[in-house]
Structures are given as structure tokens and as C-alpha cells.
Amino acid sequence: MKMNNAGFRASAAAMEDIAHDIVRACRRGARTIAAMPWPAMLACCIVLAFVISILPLALFLFVLFMGIKVVIGAFAVDHRRTHREHYGKQ
């Protein structure tokens, strides 16, 4: 499937707009950080470190333990069903 020239230009323009928005946001963030006093910058760094490292770890562990819980629950339900079928026929 070929992309026509107009479609390519539209997607290139959209990507260029996104790049300009990202650069503008980074510059504004850099100016904000440069104007911060040291205690506020320290608090900002601590919050950023929390968001970057601890939050993804907590989400990963939550998903991992929920997956383990589902697997164990499936085995327990299967065990109960086979136990009920085995003793229900006697």
C-alpha cells in the first residue's frame, strides 16, 4: 500500500508539530526548574524519582501477584470440580 504525497505531507506535518510541542514543553520545564529555589528543586527531584522508580515497580508487582492469584484460583476451582465429580458419582 503506497502513501500518496498529500498523506505523507500531512503525517510529516503532524509529527513536526508533535516534535515542536515536545521541545516547547522541555524548554518551559527547564526554565521552571532554573527558577526554582533549592528546597523546591529537591522536593521535585524526590517526587520525580518516586514516579520513575517506585511507582512502576509497585504496578509490576501488583500485576504479577494478581496473575499468580488467578493461576492459583484456576487450579483450586479445577481441583474442587474434579473432587465434586469424583465423589458425586459414587
| Enclosing domain of residue 30 | 1-35
- Residue tagged 508487582 (cell numbers): 61
What's the number of domains the chain is made of? 2
44 Cβ contact list (under 8 Å, min separation 6): 33, 36
Considering the domain architecture, whether residues 27 and 46 belong to the same structural domain is answered as: no
Considering the domain architecture, whether residues 27 and 50 belong to the same structural domain is answered as: no
pLDDT in tens, 37-86: 999 889 988 988 888 899 899 999 999 999 999 999 999 888 888 877 77
pTM, 2 dp: 0.48
